[in-house]
Amino acid sequence: MQILWPIVYIAAACAQRAFAWGTLGHQTVGYIAQEFLAPKALAFVQSSLGSTYDESLGPAAPWADSVRYESAYRWSAPLHFVDAEDSPLSDSCSVQEQRDCGDGDCILTAIANYTTRVAKTSLSASQRQEALKFLDHFLGDIGQPLHVEAYEVGGNDISAKCSGSSTNLHAAWDTGMVSKNINENHGGEVQTYAADLIARIKTGSYKSLTDDWLSCTSITEPVSKRSGDTTAHGVEEDVKRLLARAEDAAEATITPLECPLVWARESNAYCCSVVFTYTTGEDLCTSEYYTNAVPVIDLQLAKQGYRLAAWLNVIFDGATNLP
């Protein structure tokens, strides 16, 4: 079994449509988050994940993809994305909760659900571990532009080329360009890649951006919403409001959150500005397209890792605990 498992996993991954940052992208998000955890969040993560996952969000992040094709977890497949019914080819990108997640079964509601569940001490340890692993994963997925796009099944139905190999647009974003980037620019190691992005966050080019990452406003929002007035809304308010409601409401309705919607809009906007800008027949991994995509991939993974830490810190320590 030990030997068979990876083979089965790879076969499943190849046979099925890819629907997520690949393993490397998810692990990167997890390793970045791990670095920024506050004391109680860290203690929970370590004891909940245990030695199975090396007590780290990095190794645990791909789990949700590894189970989504098993019959016991088939229900979770729609939770990895939101099908935004916009028009990226006409330069019209948008995410609307009612239009795109009207049935309440998408990544937006899933993040709310598992935020409530991971905090719920009345649930079993394994239920809370499951909630943690889903959050670990979905905060990554929501940063992948094609997880927030309905067009051609999030690009899965668009044939593409990556370094000479046949693939599809979605898979090129999930894995093709990510692994090339890691190989060429980050020593071929996911942990080196995560460390490089962590350094950018702590002291490098991302340092000045991190406030905005947690503010849950986006550049697509009107300026008035960004000016820090009393209606300004960040990760901390979003999580606290949800947890307060969850305690009140016996019926435990899944309240839509502000931050995941803003994150979704942010990554969806890249569908208009970058993702669909290839020319027919272009090799996505050897052309200018790749050069334009890499900064987006780096930024989205770093941002989502940082947000995942902030999210868990509010849940367990009551504040983002981040500069």
Q: Could you give the C-alpha distances from 4 to 51, 95, 116, 133, 317, in angstroms and in order?
A: 21, 40, 36, 23, 40
How far apart (Å, rounded) are the C-alpha atoms in residues 241 and 37?
Answer: 21
Contact map string, positions 95 to 134, toward ligand NAG, x by CB under 6 A: --------------x---x---x-----------------
157 is catalytic: no
From the CB of 96, what's the least distance to ligand NAG, in Å? 19
Interface of this chain with Zn ion, residues 155 to 214, rule: CB under 5 A: none
How far apart (Å, rounded) are the C-alpha atoms in residues 298 and 267?
Answer: 12
Coil, strand or helix at 159: strand
Tell me which stretch binds Zn ion (CB under 5 A): 134-142, 187-195, 215-223, 250-258: 134-142
Which of 21, 63, 173, 213 does the annotation list as catalytic? 21
Interface of this chain with Zn ion, residues 35 to 74, rule: CB under 5 A: 65
The residue written with tokens 């980037």 in the block is 181
Q: Which of residues 134 and 270 has its CB atom nearest to ligand NAG in the complex?
A: 134
Q: Which of 141, 174, 236, 266 binds Zn ion (CB under 5 A)?
A: 141
> For residue 65, how many C-alpha atoms fall within 13 Å in the half-sphere facing its CB?
28
How far apart (Å, rounded) are the C-alpha atoms in residues 218 and 212?
Answer: 8
Q: Which of residues 255 and 287 has its CB atom nearest to ligand NAG in the complex?
A: 255
Q: Which of 182, 254, 312, 314 binds ligand NAG (CB under 6 A)?
A: 254
How far apart (Å, rounded) are the C-alpha atoms in residues 131 and 279?
Answer: 41
Which of 83, 86, 174, 196 does the annotation list as catalytic? 174
Binding site for ligand NAG (CB under 6 A): 109, 113, 117, 254
